[in-house]
């Protein structure tokens, strides 16, 4: 089979193949390690269901912030009827003690950079 201009086309194909297979060779031989956020001990339920929290906690936190800052509403009533303080430091972090072991696990995994810590002080981690 005769190929014309192969000296230009074949390197072109190789470069294109290299670019399109980028994810494969980037991870070649590596084991994919899923994130392991450390769950709080002794607490079973969060403010909402696990599935909701996994996918949409950013929405909830954003709503909380707006309610607290703009409307001075500070208490969140969960679907279960239980009341929680709408606060990052005095709420969430009470159970989820470690930012590094909890928040950052998935955020780093997915390259998410939430702006919570632009204002809030990150908790001091025990190293």
Partner 1 sequence: MSAQKSILYPLVAVLVLILIPVIGVKLGLSYFFAVVVPYAAFITFFGGILCKVINWARSPVPFRITTTCGQEKSFDWVKHNKFDNPFTNRQVLVRMALEVLCFRSLFRNLKMEMREGPKLAYGSAKWLWLGALAFHWSFLVILLRHMRFFAQPVPGFVDVLQNVDGFFELGIPQLFLTDAVIVAALTYLFLRRVVVPQIRYISLPSDYFPLYVLFGLVLSGIGMRYFFRVDIVKVKELAMSLVTLKPAVPDGIGTLFYVHLFMLSVLFAYFPFSKLAHMAGVFLSPTRNLANNSRAKRHINPWNYPVKVHTYEEYEEEFREKMKEVGLPVEKE
Residue tagged 């809030």 (tokens): 120
Q: Is 111 left (phi over 0), alpha (psi -120 to 50) or beta?
A: left
Interface with partner 1, residue 69, by CB under 8 A: no
Apex CA 32: angle with CA 16 and CA 38, to 5°? 140
Rule CB under 8 A: choose which of 41, 42, 44, 55 binds partner 1: 55
Judged by beta carbon, residue 33 or residue 42, the one nearer partner 1 is 33
Task: Output 1 or 69, the one with its CB closest to partner 1.
Answer: 1
- 29 secondary structure, DSSP code: T
Distance in Å, CB of 3 to partner 1, minimum: 5
Q: Identify any residues that bridge with 76 across adjacent strands, giving them in sequence order.
A: 84
State the residues that interact with partner 1 by CB under 8 A.
1-6, 9, 12-13, 16-17, 20-24, 26-28, 30-35, 51, 54-56, 58-59, 62, 106, 108-113, 115
């Amino acid at each position: 089979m005769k190929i014309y201009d192969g000296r230009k086309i074949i390197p072109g194909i190789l470069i294109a193949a290299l670019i399109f297979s980028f994810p494969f060779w980037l991870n070649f031989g590596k084991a994919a390690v899923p994130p392991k956020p450390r769950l709080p001990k002794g607490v079973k339920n969060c403010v909402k269901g696990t599935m909701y929290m996994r996918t949409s906690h950013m929405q909830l936190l954003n709503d909380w912030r707006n309610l607290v800052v703009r409307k001075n509403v500070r208490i969140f009533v969960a679907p279960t009827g239980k009341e929680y303080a709408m606060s990052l430091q005095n709420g969430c972090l009470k159970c989820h003690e470690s930012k590094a072991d909890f928040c950052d696990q998935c955020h780093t995994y997915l390259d998410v950079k939430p702006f919570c810590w632009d204002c809030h002080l990150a908790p001091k981690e025990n190293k």
